[in-house]
Amino acid sequence: MFVQLQTPLPVHVIERGPGLAFAVIDYGPEHDLIWVTALDESGEIWCAPNPKVRLARNWTMGRGPDPAAANGAGRDETGGNGTARPGSHHASSSAPGARSPSP
């Protein structure tokens, strides 16, 4: 099944970089979802399997980049927004709305 996303999602494809997912392909229960993604830097379109796709960070939701997506990107687990990801042991900043990481 091919599903065009009505609102493209900003994602990070591990080993490829950031982009916008604009469709999902579902071949059924024996297969990973496939995210059809336009990469920001090169403009290439890649069909990435679900384990390689991470949602982009979202400061208002308190979501930093996934550590696997951040490797090699020069970003810490907070994504520079001062809000620690769940399970992270980084100290939070004094940014408004920043939450302290839970032990």
pLDDT digits (tens, 9 = 90+) for 49-84: 999 999 988 888 888 766 666 664 433 333 333 334
pLDDT digits (tens, 9 = 90+) for 42-56: 999 999 999 999 998
Q: Is it the case that residue 2 has pLDDT exceeding 90?
A: yes
Closest to 55 measured CA to CA, from 42, 31, 37: 37
Prediction pTM value: 0.62
* Domain definitions of the chain by residue range: 2-55
The pLDDT score that the predictor gives to residue 71 is: 63
Query: Vertex 93, ends 88 and 95: CA angle to 5°?
Result: 125
- For the CA atoms of the chain, what is the radius of gyration? 15
Q: Is it the case that residue 87 has pLDDT exceeding 50?
A: no
